[in-house]
Amino acid sequence: MIVERIWTGNAYRNYNYLIACPESGEALAIDPVDHQKCLTAARAKGWEITQILNTHEHHDHIGGNDAVVAATGAKVIAHHRAGARIGGVDRGVKAGDVIKVGKTVELECLDTPGHTMCHICLRSHTEQPALFSGDTLFNAGAGNCHNGGSAEALYGSFVDQLAKLPDNTRVYPGHDYIENNLRFTLARESDNAAAMALLSDVVGQNPKKAPVTTLGQEKQINTFLRLSSPSVIAGLRKVFPDLPEKPDSKTVFIKLRELRNTW
Ligand SMILES: [Zn+2]
């Protein structure tokens, strides 16, 4: 499996991805909103884009579909309930469905509601596993829930699914928000040495070269995966004095998401 991360450079800071089979040269484009950059990258590599996967229905993820389909004839894949919102979907997928790319690549679909209620993440079972997490899990952060989502559902996706993936899973999200997210983690937990160290690496860095984190690293630097950290809870109680002494992790997650909305 070859992963090509494409930095769009647009105002929303989107990342697009091409995932290619090294044997056949067939490729899957994930959320190819910058269709020109995706088509150019595929051409340069000698790859043929045969499928498009939309992680969810937001315009900055689906806006390149028509142009890529027109240029390549690729089939569009999305959550089985997202079709009405996306249009032109050839295949609706559910949890556990597998997307094959060429001869060698298999990606498992995870149904991960929260950012929207029709959100798919893709997981590879390669030697070093990979997670294409759309707007659910960002490097050092979590997706927002105010455009058709639910913080409770996002909590469920984090705790019941994403946090259980192997620690060496590489995390490939739909946007580059790592610097702001690390600053948020440090605002919640100023003594987080791992977040501090990574922030000094990423400040002012070209997003083309931004690090790809692993899930194990996320558990150190992503406040949304540190729900039982005493300093995260102590910091939250300063902002929300009504928070119980030992809040459950769902309450902590929802309060963190609420804070991040206005941070
Ligand atoms: Zn979105």
Pairing of strands 105-111, 120-124: antiparallel
Ligand 1 is an ion; residues with CB less than 5 A from it:
58, 135
Mean pLDDT confidence for 206-224: 95
Whole-number Å distance, alpha carbon 168 to ligand 1 midpoint, is: 25
201 is catalytic: no
Contacts of 213 (CB under 8 A, 6+ apart): 139, 140, 170, 171, 178, 198, 221
Alpha-carbon separation of residue 236 from 3, 26, 187, 221, 229 (angstroms): 38, 48, 10, 17, 11
132 beta partners: 122, 172
Average model confidence (pLDDT) across the chain: 96
Read off the pLDDT of residues 89-114 as tens digits, 9 standing for 90 and up.
Answer: 999 999 999 999 999 999 999 999 99
Give the C-alpha separation, 4 to 233, whole Å: 38
Q: Which residues touch 167 (CB under 8 Å, ≥6 apart)?
A: 214, 215, 216, 219
pLDDT in tens, 4-50: 999 999 999 999 999 999 999 999 999 999 999 999 999 999 999 99
Mean pLDDT along residues 255-261: 96
- Residue 22 backbone dihedrals phi, psi, to 5 degrees: -65, -25
pLDDT of residue 143: 97
* 138: helix, strand or coil: strand
pLDDT attached to residue 193 = 97
pLDDT of residue 263: 87
pLDDT at 57: 97
pLDDT at 245: 86
Instruction: Give distance in angstroms: CA of 115 to centre of ligand 1.
Output: 7
User: What's the whole-model pTM score?
Assistant: 0.97
Given the residues 111, 115, 119, 176, select the one marked as catalytic: 115
For residue 103, the CA-to-ligand 1 centroid distance in Å is 31
CA-to-CA dists, residue 183 to 57, 188, 229, 252, angstroms: 28, 9, 17, 18
Question: Tokens representing 249?
Answer: 């992790």
Count of structural domains within the chain = 1
The mean per-residue pLDDT over the stretch 169-193 comes to 96
Q: Which of 31, 34, 35, 56 is the catalytic position?
A: 56
Cα separation, 90 vs 54, in Å, equals: 11
Domain, as residue range, for 189: 2-262
**Average pLDDT, integer, range 211-239:** 96
CATH number assigned to the domain comprising residue 131? 3.60.15.10
pLDDT tens digits for 46-61? 999 999 999 999 999 9
Q: For residue 167, indicate whether it is catalytic.
A: no
pLDDT for res 222: 98
pLDDT in tens, 119-159: 999 999 988 999 999 999 999 999 999 999 999 999 999 99
Cβ(150)–Cβ(114) below 8 Å: yes
Reply yes or no on whether 60 is catalytic: yes
Specify whether 115 is catalytic: yes
The active-site residue, picked from 35, 61, 79, 119, is 61
The pLDDT score that the predictor gives to residue 15 is: 97
Active-site entry in 58, 79, 111, 119: 58
Distance, in Å, from the CA atom of 22 to the CA atom of 36, rounded to the nearest integer, reads: 22
Catalytic-role residue among 60, 79, 111, 119: 60
